[in-house]
Structure 1
Amino acid sequence: MLLALGLLALVGLWWLGRSGGRLPAGLSPRRIGSYAAFAVAALLALRGVLLPALLLAGAGLWLLEGGEGVSKRLAGLVAKLKPNRAPKRTATIEFEPASGDGTVLAGPHTGERLSAVPRGDLVALHTLCRSADLDGARLLEAYLDRRHAGWRVDAERDPHPGAGRALDPGAMTQKEAYEILGLESGASLEQVRTAHRALMKRLHPDQGGTAEFAARINAARDRLTNRHR
């Protein structure tokens, strides 16, 4: 190693002597020092001496780009390594990685926090998402795995959660009907019809939705339509 360093120094001195001690344009002592540090770091790395090699490489980078340049590079690297904490929004839910919670955007429990929705209803929402919103299904799977261990066993035991509930409009409360259509209490007849059309357009079985949920949407519309008669 010492012999290699000596030879490198001799080559440098010979080259400076040939050029009359003048450095070419664009080549400064700092740049030469950085290249030398990189060369020695490479030799050390090849010999398996990793810690000194890393230190020398860092010194070479500092000589080449200065303290500010190195700081910017490190900041960019840290930003890339940081997990993305921005909210993730799909057609059905919005999930917030920072809080580990989210909000239901469509269907039953619209506007509610995931943490406030019963586990059985979350599993039913997951079943719906598997047909109409795959990104939402993946986010819900991760959420259920963290908050409700064992939910997959229940889902396999009852592959159609919510099936068997009465779909007679008279058996559904107004509050449930408003929640299913994503409306505020007291919405007008036109708002009910508009919300029903929008949901059926997205979640009808012909569009990849489930027949069970389509029936609940229709029952909710009928319940609120009867209210206006």
Structure 2
Amino acid sequence: MTLIAGLVAVITLYLLLQTLRTASPALLARMGRKAGGVACLAIAAFTGIRGELAVAIPLGLFGAGLLGWSPGGLDRLGLGGLFGGRMGSGGARSRLVELEEDRDTGRLSGRFIAGPYAGRSLDEFEVPQLAEMISYLDSGSAVLLENYLDRRLPAWRQHAQRDAAGRQRRAAASTKMTEEEAYQILGLQPGAGRDEIGRAHRALMKKLHPDQGGSTYLAARVNEAKDTLLRTHHG
């Protein structure tokens, strides 16, 4: 039984670490609030049983606020700035983005409050457009936008990755590589021989191969450069 319990614990810990590694900042913030809320309630219950109500009551209210159980949540406790944007009653605000949650329906809406899209609702934009904007936002605004996308389309990250890969493939297929480009990619001078092309290709692939943590797109371009130049030599 001890061995089985140990295996279960190891597997559970591994799955938890994998979840934390791939989780978005918005998800980690929510997990942090919930964990903090549960811990505060547990400590409040313990101190309450011991009769220390002066400690138990405020601690319990704080824990309930973290879990969103109290009307007005964290904002009533003056702790709205915890874990990300400035919190309000059912919403959050950063420098560029404002979110609002309908407490009755749970629907999350938002808008840009500054920048080139100031005043426009997040609902006006397609998911891929919003996903592309994330890398250009400040960290607080990026977290809120990820939070909004998590609610609007939970699988938006997978869609964004597929869209990016598709754009790279279309860009590569739309233009035929010239010899000049191929020489530049491989770092060779025009007229380089087959042996030089092979050595340059192998050296670059060691750095760029996806199995080594490199870029699939760049590795494909290096392969195309080698093929382009070898076809020239063959011709």
**TM superposition score category, shorter chain reference:** 0.3 to 0.5
Q: TM-score, normalised by structure 1?
A: 0.34
* Larger Cα-atom Rg: 1
